[in-house]
Amino acid sequence: MLNVGSVARKIRKHKARRIFIQVPEGLKTRILGFARELEKNGKRGLKVLISVDPCYGACDLRDNEAKALGCDLILHLGHSDFGLKSKIPVIYEELRMDYDPTPLLMIALNDLKPFKKIGLVTTVQFLSSLDHARKFLQKRRKKVYVGSPRRGNPGQVLGCDFSAAKDLEGTVDCFLFMGSGTFHPLGLSMAVKKPVFFLDFEGTQLLDLKDEKRRMENIRLLQIENAKSCKSFGILVSTKPGQMRIKTAEESKEKLEKMGKKAWILVADELTPEKLLGLQIDCIVNTACPRMREDSRLFKKTIIDPDDVDKLKE
């Protein structure tokens, strides 16, 4: 997956002398050897700095730190270009996996039988699987569609961007997400009204997410009901460049104060329960990454989205 020679050639084109590597958690076990090989392959004494902060996606670009450390290039591993402006050049190395899902689709085909028009989506790592799945399903007389997202590659979804699917919602009968991990397919199920199936490469099974979607919708409704009785709100703004929604936060603050609520804008790179110690906050309005919903139990506070603020008046 990590091709030292290919990456080294890209770095040489930029004539970089010091690079800053951002790496997702799943690749940290291999990054030390990779960095060492890059330094060996680099010209003019290439220096490599490795960020050990969590990297959740291309929205989490550490260009301020890289520039402050004297780096002239960022190597961002595992994610595609998010379209962010950076203070220094960035190489996005997507690290795709050539996974053929057809054996799993053979097993899952009966569950997909009622659906004639299927929208295919996945994450950047498994984009090559789309073509395998399309050919397989078309041979079984299915009409297959791959949408175009606002950013990224055809058929690609992000945790905060499901436009590749929403673009097709009026056309397809269902969506088939292929990949690993539940974060993206569950987010997709909440973003669209059509049925969502999850072809789980790790669990080697097809999951119908309708029950899990219903559970998540109930949790969201409960959070909104709880928020109606809350009096003090902390509105989270992340300093990650792809998550910095200060205007949305200010609009939420204004709405809450008009309801007679107390509201403060809280700023952090990454919000953890420890950072809220000492703050008398009943409810968090999350304008940052939707992954935070997964950690709501850790915060022991009600967490809602900015779109939910208007519902507090109902």
Backbone angles phi, psi at 301, to 5 degrees: -140, 160
pLDDT at 56: 83
How far is Cα of residue 238 from the mean position of the Cα atoms in its chain?
Answer: 15
CATH class given for the domain over 102-208: alpha beta
CATH architecture of 4-93: 3-Layer(aba) Sandwich (3.40)
Contacts of 262 (CB under 8 A, 6+ apart): 231, 232, 233, 256
- In tens, the pLDDT along 124-136 reads 999 999 999 999 9
Largest CA distance in the chain: 64
Going by pLDDT thresholds of 50, 70 and 90, the confidence category of residue 279 is very high
The first and second tokens of residue 221, run together, are 């409704």
Number of H helices, E strands in the chain: 10, 13
The pLDDT score that the predictor gives to residue 42 is 65
Q: How many CA atoms lie within 13 A of 265 on its CB side?
A: 19
Q: What is the CATH number of domain 221-313?
A: 3.40.50.11860
Q: Which residues pair with 237 in a beta bridge?
A: 267
Rounded CA gap, 143 and 23, in Å?
37
Give the pLDDT confidence of 54-63 residue by residue, as tens digits: 888 888 999 9
The per-residue b/e assignment along 226-259, b for 16 or more CB within 10 angstroms, e otherwise, is: ebeebeebbbbbbebbbbbbeebbeebbebbeee
Domain ranges within the chain, ordered by starting residue: 4-93, 102-208, 221-313
